[in-house]
Amino acid sequence: MKMNFVIIIILVGILGLIIKFSMAPTDVADERHDVSQQAAPTSSDEAASSGGYGAEGKCIKGDCLNGKGVMEYPNGKQYSGEFQEGIIQGQGTFIFPNGEIYTGAFNKGEPNGLGVHTYPTGEKYEGAFMDSLYHGKGAQIFPDGRKYVGEFSKGRAKGMGTLTLANGEKYVGEFTDGMGNGKGKYT
């Protein structure tokens, strides 16, 4: 009985390390994933700052002041969707030069609400966003076949969730900072 307990503790520790290192690269708070404060021009023909990227954007189609339009940036980024008072607001799609795509809800220039973020590596997140970060309920699928479905907070797995490994093994339980932590079951 004592030996079984030791084996379980070791397996939970290994699973925790796997989860920690597998979810760390998906932190969307870094500049590569930040689509916050993307500004629109004050008129359809004028360029405007694109927030933290330091590039000038140009409305190439539609109404980028109050309506639907397409904004293109010299750094290769492109936004297509709804604008309100020159700010990205409502539903839209943001395409990054490296092939990443975010499609979903924006509020004041940031992903807020439901959306889908896909990566050229095959990784995908579908769920709730708050201030450009995974926040609320969502599902994250990794190229190696792992899948996490559960709660996120500030871009990290936190709360109740299920991590399914490519071989079918599962951890169902609590997560903190992207790692299995607290009460949970490994099968």
Range list of H helices, the chain: 2-23
Tens digits of residue pLDDT in 105-114: 999 989 999 9
Counted domains in the chain: 1
Cβ proximity of 106 and 88 under 8 Å: yes
Q: Provide the strand spans (E) within 16-118.
A: 47-49, 56-62, 67-72, 78-84, 87-95, 101-107, 110-118
Tens digits of residue pLDDT in 19-77: 443 443 333 333 322 222 333 333 333 333 333 323 468 999 999 999 999 999 888 99
Residue 163, domain extent: 2-186
pTM as predicted: 0.71
Supply the CATH number for residue 18's domain. 2.20.110.10
Q: Which two tokens stand for residue 72?
A: 């293109």
Measured from the Cβ of residue 104, the count of other Cβ atoms closer than 10 Å reads 20
